C-alpha cells in the first residue's frame, strides 16, 4: 500500500513525517526539494509539500485582456518572475504523487489551505486522486495533534473548496479585469501606459482611508477652554466639571470668579471596580497588541506567528476564535512551559481550577492562538517578542480580575464645581502576570469633606478641537474586521498592497494624491467598485457557501454581473476616467522641479521595465534621469544643482544626486538629520525614509540594527 500526504509548506511536511515515524527518511528531488519517506501501519508513505499556492488562475485568452473564462495553471507558468521557485515543487508532486493507493490532504485547515491541497491533488497527482483522498485537521504541529489528526481523518470539505475557488475567481474578476479596463482608459485617452491596481476588498479599504483623509482636511478646529487649579496640598490638580468650555465668556466668568479663592471639599467618595483578564488572542487581537506594544505591522506579526506555528511552538494563527477549549490540555501545556524559569514564576501562582476568560468570537476550524508547551530554541529577537507575548497572554487569561479603588472628590470654589480622581490597585490579579499593561497605582491624599484647600494657581488653557486621528495599520485591521471586509488571513496583505501600489504612506496612514483621485474618479463613474455594501454582500455569500446556504456557481455569476456593470460604466466614461487618473498619477509622482520650470515626474518605461524621471514639459523639454532599482526620493535637494537627493542600495544605503553627472556626492554629515542616540549602542539615530514613511535607524548599522517608526521614537527611547 502506497500513501501520499500533501502538505502546505516544507516545514509542515517535516513535522508531519517525523511525528508519524521516528525513522522518516529525508529525500531530495532535483538536489534541492525535500520530501519524506516512511512506513506506518504497513503502508509506504511519501510526504510531499508545496510552498503555498502552486496553481494560479489564468484567462483562456491573453493575460492582458479582460476575460471571464479562467482555468488553473501552474503558478510558474502564470508568473515566471514571481513564482518560478514553485516549478520543482509542482514537478516533485507530479513525479512522486501519481498512482498511489490513498491520499491525505494535510494543508492548513482553512479556506486557502483547503484550496491549496485540493489543487495539488487534482492537478499534480491527477483528478482520480480526489476519489481516494481524506483530510487531516490540526491546530498545532505537535506530535500528539498530528498523530490524532492522522488517525481521525475525514472527507475533504467540498464547501471549503468551492468557497476558495469562488473567492479566487471573484478576486480575479474585480482585480485583474477592472485594473486592465482602467489602464486601457488611460492608454486610450492619453496614449500613455499606466499600471493601476484595484480589487474587490482593496478598493473599499482605500475608500475608507480616503474618507478619513477628507475628514481631516475639511476639519475646522473650534476653540475651547479648560479651567483647572493647582492646590497647595500635594500639588493636586483639579478641573472644572464642565471640562471643555466652548463659550469664551463663560470661561472668563469662571476664571474671574474663582481667582484668588480657596477650594472647599464638598464630597469624597470611594468606589470599587474590577478589570477582567484579557481574552485569548485571535489573529486580529495579536496583530493589534503587537502593533501597540512593539510597533510591528500586522503583516510582520502574521509572518512571525506563522513561523512559530510551523516550528511547533504555537497554534495556528489565522483564527477568529477568542476561545480556549478544555480539550487543549491546559495543565500539560503549563507543565511544559514551567521548564522556563521566567514563565514558571507566573505559572506557579495559577489558580487550582484552570478556567480561561474566553471571548465571544468563535471559529469552527481552530481555537484561539496559544503556546503548545514546546519551548523554542534559536528564535530571532522579533520571534522571541511575539512568542512571549502569546505565552504571557495565555497565562494571564487564567487569572482572576484585577481590583481597584477609585477616589472621586468634588470641590467648590465660589459655587463652581471642580473635581479630581485617583485610582489605586487593591489586587493586581492578572495584571501581575501580563507585563505589557501598565498598572496605574496612585496614592490617595489625606483629605475629607469640609476641608478648605488653598489654591496655588488657577489656569485657563485655551485649546482647539482636533480632527479625527489617522488610521494606523492596527486600527485599520480593526475597522475592516468591524465592517466584515476581507478575511483574517487577507487583511494584512491588502494593507501591504496599498503601500506597494504607492496609494498610501506613513505609519499614521496618509493617502497620496493618486489614491485620493483614484477613489474620487471611481466614486464618480463606477460607484459600485468603492462600495462597502457590495464587497460585504459578496463576502457574506462566500461564507454562505461554507454553510451550504448558497452555491459557488451562483456567487460567481453574481460577481460576474457586478463586474460587467462596472466595466460598462468605465467604457462609457473612458476619456474622463483616463485623463483624471493620468493627471493624478502625474501629480503623485512629482519628485522635484526641472531646470526648465516644469515638474520632474517619476515614470515607468514598459519597454525597459524600469523607472526613470522625466520632465512634464516633454517633448519640449527632454531632460530625463535614470534611477537605480528601489531608489527612494528624500526630502532634500543637491546643494550643487538643486535636483532631488535619492537613497538606494543597502548596508548602509547610499545617498546621491539624481543627476549621475553631478558626481553622486554622498550627503555631508551636516545634511544628515540626527534625532537622538541609540538605546542599544549609544551611536547617533538617523532619520531615514522607507516603505511606510520616515523611520529612525542606528548609524552603527549593520552591526547595530535598532530601528523604529519616527512617531514611535519617544516611546521606544523611554522603554
Active site residue ranges = 316
CA distance linking residue 244 with residue 247, whole number of Å: 9
Q: Quote the Cα angle for 513-516-521, to 5°.
A: 120
Label residue 579 exposed, middle or buried (CB < 10 Å: 0-12, 13-18, 19+).
middle
Which residues are CB-neighbours of 216 under 8 A, at least 6 positions away?
A: 467, 468, 470
**Rama region for 320: left / alpha / beta (φ>0; ψ in -120 to 50; rest):** alpha
Q: How many helices (H) and strands (E) does the chain have?
A: 22, 28
User: Which residue, among 496, 561, 512, 505, has the nearest Cα to 694 in the 3D structure?
Assistant: 505
Classify strands 102-105 and 2-7 as parallel, antiparallel or unpaired: parallel
Locate 614 and state its grid cell. 522625466
CA atoms within 13 A on the CB side of 312: 19
How many other CB atoms sit within 10 Å of the CB of residue 540?
13
User: Which residue, among 647, 702, 704, 696, has the nearest Cα to 676 in the 3D structure?
Assistant: 696
Locate 82 and state its grid cell. 514571481
CA distance linking residue 534 with residue 528, whole number of Å: 7
User: 611 has which bridge partners?
Assistant: 604
How many other CB atoms sit within 10 Å of the CB of residue 511?
27
Which residues are CB-neighbours of 708 under 8 A, at least 6 positions away?
A: 295, 695, 696, 716
Q: Which H helix or E strand runs over 383?
A: helix 381-396
Is 402:430 a contact under the CB 8 Å cutoff? yes
How many other CB atoms sit within 10 Å of the CB of residue 189?
17
Is 504:512 a contact under the CB 8 Å cutoff? yes
Q: How far is CA 260 from CA 255, 265, 416, 458, 690, in A?
A: 10, 17, 14, 8, 54
Is 651:702 a contact under the CB 8 Å cutoff? yes
E strand spans, 210-262? 223-231, 237-240
Report the sign of the C-alpha dihedral through residues 708, 712, 713, 716, in that order. Answer: negative
Locate 497 and state its grid cell. 498592497
Q: Which H helix or E strand runs over 346?
A: helix 341-347
Which residues are CB-neighbours of 657 under 8 A, at least 6 positions away?
A: 638, 640, 641, 643, 644, 645, 646, 663, 664, 665
Amino acid at each position: 500500500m502506497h500513501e501520499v500526504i500533501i502538505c502546505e509548506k516544507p516545514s509542515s511536511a517535516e513535522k508531519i513525517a517525523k511525528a508519524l515515524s521516528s525513522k522518516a527518511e529525508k529525500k531530495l528531488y532535483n538536489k534541492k526539494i525535500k520530501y519524506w519517506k516512511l512506513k506506518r501501519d504497513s503502508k509506504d508513505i511519501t510526504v510531499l509539500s508545496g510552498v503555498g499556492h502552486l496553481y494560479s488562475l489564468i484567462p483562456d485568452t491573453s493575460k492582458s485582456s479582460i476575460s471571464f473564462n479562467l482555468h488553473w495553471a501552474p503558478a510558474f507558468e502564470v508568473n515566471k518572475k514571481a513564482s518560478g521557485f514553485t516549478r520543482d515543487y509542482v514537478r516533485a508532486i507530479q513525479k512522486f504523487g501519481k498512482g498511489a493507493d490513498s491520499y491525505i490532504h494535510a494543508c492548513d485547515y482553512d479556506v486557502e489551505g483547503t484550496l491549496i491541497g485540493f489543487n495539488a491533488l487534482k492537478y499534480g497527482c491527477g483528478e482520480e486522486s480526489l476519489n481516494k483522498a481524506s483530510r487531516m485537521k490540526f491546530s498545532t504541529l505537535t506530535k500528539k495533534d498530528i498523530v490524532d489528526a492522522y488517525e481521525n481523518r475525514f472527507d475533504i470539505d467540498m464547501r471549503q473548496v468551492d468557497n476558495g475557488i469562488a473567492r479566487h475567481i471573484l478576486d480575479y474578476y474585480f482585480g485583474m479585469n477592472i485594473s486592465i479596463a482602467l489602464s486601457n482608459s488611460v492608454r486610450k485617452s492619453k496614449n500613455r501606459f499606466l499600471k493601476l491596481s484595484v480589487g474587490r476588498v482593496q478598493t473599499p479599504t482605500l475608500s475608507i482611508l480616503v474618507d478619513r483623509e477628507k475628514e481631516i482636511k475639511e476639519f475646522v478646529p473650534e476653540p475651547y477652554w479648560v479651567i483647572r487649579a493647582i492646590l497647595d496640598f500635594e500639588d493636586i490638580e483639579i478641573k472644572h466639571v464642565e471640562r471643555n468650555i466652548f463659550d469664551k465668556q463663560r470661561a472668563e466668568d469662571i476664571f474671574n470668579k474663582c481667582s484668588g479663592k480657596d477650594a472647599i471639599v464638598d464630597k469624597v467618595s470611594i468606589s470599587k471596580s474590577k478589570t477582567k483578564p484579557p481574552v485569548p488572542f485571535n489573529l486580529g487581537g495579536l496583530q493589534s497588541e503587537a502593533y501597540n506594544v512593539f510597533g510591528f505591522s500586522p503583516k510582520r506579526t502574521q509572518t512571525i506567528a506563522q513561523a512559530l506555528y510551523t516550528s511547533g511552538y504555537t497554534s495556528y494563527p489565522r483564527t477568529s476564535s477568542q476561545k480556549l477549549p478544555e480539550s487543549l490540555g491546559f495543565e500539560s501545556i503549563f507543565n511544559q512551559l514551567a521548564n522556563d524559569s521566567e514563565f514558571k514564576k507566573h505559572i506557579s501562582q495559577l489558580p487550582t481550577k484552570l478556567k480561561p476568560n474566553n471571548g465571544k468570537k468563535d471559529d469552527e476550524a481552530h481555537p484561539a492562538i496559544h503556546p503548545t508547551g514546546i519551548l523554542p530554541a534559536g528564535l530571532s529577537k522579533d520571534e522571541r517578542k511575539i512568542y512571549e507575548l502569546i505565552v504571557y497572554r495565555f497565562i494571564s487569561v487564567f487569572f482572576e480580575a484585577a481590583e481597584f479603588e477609585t477616589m472621586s472628590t468634588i470641590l467648590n470654589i465660589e459655587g463652581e464645581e471642580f473635581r479630581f480622581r485617583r485610582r489605586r490597585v487593591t489586587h493586581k490579579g492578572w495584571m501581575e502576570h501580563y507585563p505589557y499593561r501598565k498598572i496605574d497605582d496612585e496614592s490617595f491624599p489625606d483629605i475629607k469633606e469640609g476641608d478648605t484647600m488653598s489654591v496655588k494657581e488657577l489656569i485657563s488653557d485655551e485649546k482647539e478641537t482636533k480632527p479625527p486621528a489617522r488610521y494606523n495599520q492596527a486600527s485599520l485591521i480593526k475597522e475592516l474586521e468591524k465592517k466584515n471586509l476581507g478575511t483574517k488571513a487577507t487583511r494584512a496583505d491588502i494593507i501591504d498592497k496599498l503601500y506597494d501600489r504607492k496609494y498610501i504612506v506613513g505609519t499614521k496612514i496618509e493617502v497620496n494624491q493618486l489614491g485620493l483621485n483614484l477613489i474620487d474618479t471611481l466614486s464618480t463613474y463606477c460607484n459600485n467598485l468603492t462600495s462597502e455594501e457590495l464587497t460585504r454582500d459578496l463576502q457574506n455569500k462566500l461564507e454562505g457557501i461554507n454553510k451550504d446556504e448558497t452555491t459557488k456557481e451562483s456567487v460567481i455569476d453574481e460577481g460576474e454581473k457586478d463586474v460587467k456593470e462596472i466595466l460598462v460604466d468605465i467604457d462609457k466614461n473612458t476619456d474622463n476616467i483616463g485623463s483624471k487618473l493620468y493627471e493624478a498619477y502625474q501629480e503623485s509622482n512629482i519628485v522635484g522641479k526641472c531646470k526648465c520650470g516644469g515638474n520632474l515626474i517619476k515614470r515607468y518605461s514598459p519597454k525597459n521595465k524600469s523607472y526613470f524621471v522625466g520632465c512634464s514639459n516633454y517633448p519640449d523639454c527632454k531632460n530625463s534621469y535614470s534611477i537605480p532599482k528601489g531608489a527612494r526620493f528624500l526630502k532634500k535637494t543637491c546643494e550643487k544643482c538643486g535636483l532631488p537627493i535619492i537613497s538606494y542600495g543597502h548596508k548602509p544605503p547610499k545617498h546621491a544626486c539624481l543627476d549621475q553627472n553631478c558626481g553622486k556626492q554622498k550627503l555631508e554629515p551636516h545634511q544628515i538629520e540626527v534625532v537622538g542616540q541609540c538605546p542599544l549602542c549609544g551611536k547617533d539615530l538617523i532619520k531615514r525614509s522607507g516603505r511606510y514613511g520616515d523611520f529612525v535607524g542606528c548609524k552603527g548599522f549593520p552591526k547595530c540594527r535598532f530601528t523604529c517608526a519616527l512617531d514611535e521614537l519617544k516611546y521606544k527611547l523611554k522603554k
